[in-house]
Amino acid sequence: MSTRMPGRNFLFVPGPTNVPDRVQRAMMVAMEDHRSSKFPELSISVLTDLKKVFKSDSGQIFIFPSSGTGAWEAALTNTLSPGDKVLASRFGQFSHLWIDMAQRLGYDVEVLDVEWGEGVPLERYEQVLRADKRHEIKAVLACQNETATGVTSDIAGVRRLMDDARHPALLYVDAVSSLASIDFRMDEWGVDLAVSGSQKGLMLPAGLGILGVSQKALKAMDGAKSKRCYFDLADMIKANATGYFPYTPSLPMLYGLRESLNMIFEEGLETIFFRHHYLAEGVRAAVLEGWKLKLCAKDPKWYSDTVSAVMVPEGINGGHVIDVAFRRYNLALGAGLAKVAGKLFRIGHLGDLNELMLMGALAGAEMAMLDVGIKVTPGSAVAAASNYWRTHDPVPKKKVSREQQFYASHSTGSIQG
């Protein structure tokens, strides 16, 4: 039997996402001297332009040759001392892993456990912060988009309650699966440490940990006693000041980042957020109205525009759906992690994608579900999603819709040929 699977693999895990051809081509470069007098042109341009993606004028951006996890660690160790109190909530595998890291690094974490399928519990955060009269809590952690459950939290709300409680703790936000796909406003929301990575909305391979740091957080570095070396921001600040890195950076990744930023600015950040919402709504129509299945997200206010976690019926192993989708249909879906292992599969809908790519994923997931005995109606996902997409604008109203563009370019006013 042939082991070759013809055609493209349909990659619909919520990261790594599809790397656009333009970005792939930009990464096909011969290696260069990262200490040349020309190198800073590239590094300074990406560091400067990333600020626009974080929506920050006053903050500073750092790029580590790591993944998002490295940026988590950099955020904590550069600003905290062992034993410092941290407030965090856990409602999925990624919010859990950041808490686990904070505990292993020796911080005293007050963990608020929340049902998986919900997000950051604003009222409980507020109670805890108001009760902390001596301001012992130094860090407030929030995961903007919990990739394991497809839940988005209200980060503006976290800032509001911290301000209302007049609490001076630093605000740390995990924006790994939201940056450049779901609105994120570092300055406006007073985010002090914004953590992200390259392999999601930035449409690159994994390999860069990206961190936005506010001026307040930069000042906190002086008193922070946690041990740090590779992730020490002080080394990075010194080297970045002239456009260099304290160690060998990944050239292809930086060239890829340059091209992905070009693509982001060509489409426009707000249009990108709009597209992600529009595509996500089509997927949700497929899941809820087409298949008549449930999402892990408990309420529409938690719905994520970058990933949908689809609950499989009792008695069915979600892992089985994923395996059939992969082996039989060349479609990669995201697995259920930890507490929700086997109970769901995830469809990533972030990065460089459109309706018809998602149609492939929906159709493939549907076939795999039918194959393992889930009684969904054949064709129902495509019907529901297409109904949504055909009747909604793919771009914000003030921009010309794709349909209008099509007709404008095809109606010249005179009939030719």
Among 143, 194, 311, 369, binds ligand PLP (CB under 6 A): 143
Contacts of 368 (CB under 8 A, 6+ apart): 321, 322, 324, 325, 328, 329, 331, 333
- Measure the N-to-C terminal CA separation of the chain; round to a whole number of Å: 51
CB of 368 to ligand PLP, least distance (A): 22
Q: 140 by DSSP, 3-state: which?
A: strand
Contact status: 177 vs ligand PLP (CB under 6 A): yes
CB of 200 to ligand PLP, least distance (A): 7
Contact status: 306 vs ligand PLP (CB under 6 A): no
Q: Please report, for residues 2, 257, 403, 405, the alpha-carbon distance to residue 416 in angstroms, rounded to integers and kept in the order given.
A: 50, 44, 21, 19
Among 20, 119, 150, 197, binds ligand PLP (CB under 6 A): 197
Among 18, 63, 64, 68, binds ligand PLP (CB under 6 A): 68
Contact status: 205 vs ligand PLP (CB under 6 A): no
Closest CA to 394 of 310, 268, 298: 268
Among 206, 221, 341, 359, binds ligand PLP (CB under 6 A): 206
Which segment (78-86, 169-177, 282-290, 375-383) binds ligand PLP by CB under 6 A? 169-177
* 89-118 binders of ligand PLP (CB under 6 A): 94
Which segment (51-59, 62-70, 241-249, 385-393) binds ligand PLP by CB under 6 A? 62-70
Among 79, 147, 181, 214, binds ligand PLP (CB under 6 A): 147
| CA–CA gap between residue 157 and residue 362 (Å, rounded) | 33
Closest CA to 319 of 340, 294, 296: 340
Q: Which is nearer to ligand PLP, 68 or 256 (CB)?
A: 68
Question: Are 188 and 55 a contacting pair, CB within 8 Å?
Answer: yes
Contacts of 162 (CB under 8 A, 6+ apart): 125, 129, 140, 169, 171, 190
Among 45, 69, 81, 380, binds ligand PLP (CB under 6 A): 69
Which segment (174-182, 270-278, 318-326, 349-357) binds ligand PLP by CB under 6 A? 174-182
Q: Where does residue 174 rank: exposed (0-12), middle (13-18), buried (19+ CB within 10 A)?
A: buried
| CA–CA gap between residue 85 and residue 178 (Å, rounded) | 26
CB of 12 to ligand PLP, least distance (A): 14
Q: Which is nearer to ligand PLP, 167 or 276 (CB)?
A: 276
CB of 393 to ligand PLP, least distance (A): 29
The residue with its CB nearest to ligand PLP is 68
Among 140, 155, 173, 176, binds ligand PLP (CB under 6 A): 176
Two tokens at 151?
């839940």
The letter for the amino acid at 170 is L
The letter for the amino acid at 250 is S
Q: Footprint of ligand PLP on this chain (CB under 6 A)?
A: 15, 67-69, 94, 143, 145, 147, 174, 176-177, 197, 206
